[in-house]
């Protein structure tokens, strides 16, 4: 993957590489383009990957205004224009799915296939305890303390292990995730999570004329798997892949399951609604 920078109208770092039709990917909260490093080889054989650091994340500076999903989606347009992309596949990871949905709603004629990894889709599919956590942790008096603690590796790893990811997480992923936390703008992170948790994107997903793939882990601690599956069951062009024995944190089995599901989707397109487990 080659690192590049777009300098106008605002500086935006992105990675590009691979072969085939373009696939633009939106990373998750407190993330960066490196969120997708385990996809580079396999997915890069099928698609040309274009992965920006969204504003306020990685090496891209924050926006002067609020970091809503709408604002982050608009920040992608200069990159799309600079690369001359007329039609492409689009993907989003967790809160990045909200950015992808917003882009799709604004420019539906440009998007072919969708790949959505643990998408929040609707507030009803997010576990109640995470809604409570996010509300408390981003509140005025608490947020500065949380920001300080997020830079303490032991505290950060303990919180994610108990409340978000589980214990079985690939060590390289854990190291990369902590580095991304240190680089992220705290203001951008706060504004983005508040925006993403309020979105109702099911109508956008159901109305998309192309094929979509939704990937989730069977033991995800943020999303209600059954609620998400029920939400997409009536959508004829949505393919649902549930990876067994996996949680929100990425381990070797979960990574392999993701890659298998995407290979099937990108190469052959499975029958709609079929649950793929690996």
Per-residue pLDDT in tens (0 to 9) along the chain, 278 residues: 999 999 988 999 999 999 999 999 999 998 999 999 999 999 999 999 999 999 999 999 999 999 999 999 999 999 999 999 999 999 999 999 999 999 999 999 999 999 999 999 999 999 998 899 888 888 888 888 777 777 777 666 666 665 666 666 667 777 777 788 888 899 999 999 999 999 999 999 999 999 999 999 998 989 999 999 999 998 999 999 999 988 887 888 889 999 999 999 999 865 454 444 33
pTM of structure: 0.90
The domain segmentation of the chain, as residue ranges, is 2-276
- Residue 179: the pLDDT is 82
Nearest by Cα to 213 from 253, 268, 155: 268
Place of tokens 């798997």: 225
- Are the C-beta atoms of 67 and 188 separated by less than 8 Å? yes
CA distances from 118 to 12, 217, 240 (A): 25, 8, 11
* Parallel/antiparallel/unpaired status of strands 2-6 and 12-18: antiparallel
Residue 87 zone, left/alpha/beta (φ > 0; ψ -120 to 50; rest)? beta
The string of pLDDT tens digits covering residues 90-124 is 999 999 999 999 999 999 999 999 999 999 999 99
Burial of 120 (0-12, 13-18, 19+ CB in 10 A): buried
Nearest by Cα to 95 from 29, 184, 191: 29
The mean pLDDT of the chain is 89
Pairwise CA distance, residues 77 & 188, whole Å:
19
Beta bridge partners, 15, equal 3, 51
What topology is assigned to 2-276 in CATH?
Rossmann fold (3.40.50)
């Amino acid at each position: 993957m080659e690192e590049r920078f777009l300098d106008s109208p605002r500086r935006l770092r992105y990675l590009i590489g691979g072969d085939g039709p373009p696939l633009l990917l939106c990373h998750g909260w407190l993330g960066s383009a490196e969120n997708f490093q385990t996809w580079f080889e396999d997915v890069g054989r099928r698609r040309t990957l274009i992965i920006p650091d969204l504003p306020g994340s990685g090496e891209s500076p924050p926006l002067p205004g609020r970091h809503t999903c709408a604002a982050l989606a608009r920040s992608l347009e200069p990159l799309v224009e600079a690369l001359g992309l007329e039609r492409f596949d689009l993907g989003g990871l967790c809160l990045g799915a909200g950015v992808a949905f917003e882009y799709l709603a604004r420019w539906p004629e440009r998007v072919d296939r969708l790949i959505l990894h643990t998408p929040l889709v609707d507030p009803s599919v997010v576990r109640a305890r995470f809604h409570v956590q996010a509300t408390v942790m981003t509140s005025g008096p608490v947020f500065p303390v949380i920001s300080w603690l997020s830079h303490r590796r032991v505290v950060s790893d303990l919180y994610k292990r108990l409340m978000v990811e589980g214990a079985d997480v690939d060590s390289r992923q854990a190291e990369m995730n902590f580095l991304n936390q240190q680089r992220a703008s705290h203001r951008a992170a706060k504004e983005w999570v508040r925006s993403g948790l309020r979105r109702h994107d099911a109508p956008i997903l159901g109305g998309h004329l192309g094929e979509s793939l939704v990937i989730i882990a069977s033991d995800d601690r943020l999303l209600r798997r059954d609620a998400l599956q029920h939400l997409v069951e009536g959508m004829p062009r949505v393919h649902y892949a549930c990876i067994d024995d996996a949680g929100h944190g990425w381990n070797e089995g979960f990574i392999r399951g993701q890659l298998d599901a995407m290979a099937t989707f990108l190469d052959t397109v499975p029958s709609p609604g079929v649950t793929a487990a690996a």
